[in-house]
Amino acid sequence: MATKAFEQAVELATGVPVEVLRDTPVDERRAIIERALGRPLRFPSRFPLIGRGNVFRDRAVSHGEVEEQFMRAIHDKPKT
Q: What is the pLDDT of residues 28-64, one digit of tens each?
A: 999 999 999 999 998 877 766 776 666 666 777 888 8
Position 75 scores a pLDDT of 87
Please give the pLDDT value at position 33.
Answer: 92
Cα–Cα distance for residue pair 76/70, rounded to 1 Å: 10
What share of the chain in percent tops pLDDT 90? 44
Which helix (H) or strand (E) element contains residue 48? none
Give pLDDT, residue 59: 77
Q: Where are the alpha helices (DSSP H) in the chain?
A: 4-14, 18-23, 26-37, 63-75
- pLDDT value, residue 48: 67
Q: What is the pLDDT of residue 46?
A: 72
Average pLDDT, the chain: 84
